[in-house]
Amino acid sequence: MDILLIKTFPLSLNEWNKVGIIDRELELFKSISTDEKFNYTIGTFGDLSDLKYSEKTKPIKIIPFFQGFLSVKSPFLKYIYSFFLPIIYKKNFKEFKIIQSNQFWGSWILILSKLILRKKIIIRQGFDFFDFLLKKKSNIIIVFLIRLYSKFIYNYSDFIIVTTNRSKINISKLFKINTNKIKVIPNFIDVRKFYPMNEIKKTNKILCVGRLTEQKNYELLFKSLIGSNYEVDIIGHGNPKSYYSIIKSNNLKVNFLGNISNQELPKIYNSYNIYILCSLYEGHPKSLLEAMSCGVNCIGTNVEGIADLYENKNFNLVDLNSKSLRSKIDYIMQKESSIDLDASKYIEKNFSINEIKKKYLSFYSQIK
């Protein structure tokens, strides 16, 4: 079965590489491709320079949609051009039995492929795009338009892949979609890389991994640390300037480390005794799963996406306030450094790349 995987619009492989996630994003699909029944090709929104990653992506092939003289810098022109991809690359698209999105944004290309070329399409999304839009309290006109767009996309798709049961229920109820076409396949963790490393000495600093955005709610963490000597290391892209005021006025010890390659993260997780994810909401938070897989003592806020993972109770769940968070930080810091092996085993059993691969293979085998 030949499958065309469409990247999130308008990202290129170069951009994945810059933020250090190219290996992580392709690992599962490379693993599935070892089964001779399935062959992936990835369609990227980069130019010919994306082909330099051909060795890294093997056995997955690459089609850079913005190659040659068609390479453009303007986001608007890229957006307009993307609507013509099923026509411009008609010959290529015809070779595939299935066209699948890697995330929700860019799914209009799949719909056009279905209408023009009669292809089966799978809308895959790592988080509930419309639900996140509502939680960000976006402009009411944008919300209305995206709701119409989402309804259209979900109705015309052959299948929808989501990472949580909550997303499945939300989409089914809000957009009146038959649950039979919605498949829950969680995010995966490569437990061959993310596992407890007993030989690594742990620091008593706090680790956070995530973009510097309002959703990640770092201000809650900073407020909880006022009056303490705790030090925080934050890995993730974004502009830290908006946090300088609260950090400086309260003499907090915060280090913004920027992007770090996913390949380096296993040793980094293992260097810390405590990991915190204090988001306002999440989908299926991969950084929390990675930290748990490494046996780190984890704290997460009691919000959608994080609380959904608490069924195993292998991390600490706290209320969305600084007092509750500080109390749990103090408790863990006062304990002797330890590794949470139960959390690591839970991730291996439920979210390892082999387990998620089985779910995809079973799903694909049912498509006629």
For domain 203-350, give the fold.
Answer: Rossmann fold (3.40.50)
240-269 per-position pLDDT tens digit: 999 999 999 999 999 999 999 989 999 999
Instruction: Read off the pLDDT band of 187 (50, 70, 90).
Output: very high
The pLDDT value given to residue 70: 53
- Right CATH for 2-188+352-365 from 3.40.50.2000, 2.60.40.10, 3.40.605.10, 3.30.300.30: 3.40.50.2000
Compute the residue count for the chain: 368
Average pLDDT over residues 79-91: 93
Alpha-carbon separation of residue 231 from 175, 211, 227, 255 (angstroms):
45, 18, 12, 8
Other residues' Cβ atoms within 10 Å of the Cβ of residue 165: 12
Average pLDDT over residues 275-301: 96
The pLDDT value given to residue 68: 66
* pTM score: 0.91
Helix (H, G, I), strand (E, B) or coil at 105: coil
33-42 per-position pLDDT tens digit: 887 688 999 9
Instruction: Read off the pLDDT band of 71 (50, 70, 90).
Output: low
- Strands across the sheet with 120-124, in order? 61-64, 39-44, 2-6, 98-101, 120-124, 159-162, 182-184
The pLDDT value given to residue 1: 87
The pLDDT value given to residue 51: 95
- Tokens 């303007």 belong to 74
Extents of the domains making up the chain: 2-188+352-365, 203-350
The pLDDT value given to residue 72: 62
Rounded Cα distance between 62 and 184, Å, is: 27
Rounded Cα distance between 210 and 218, Å, is: 10
Same-fold call for 2-188+352-365 versus 203-350: yes
Task: Say whether pLDDT at 337 is over 80.
Answer: no
DSSP result, 15-52: HHHHTT-HHHHHHHHHHHTTSTT-EEEEEESS-GGGGG
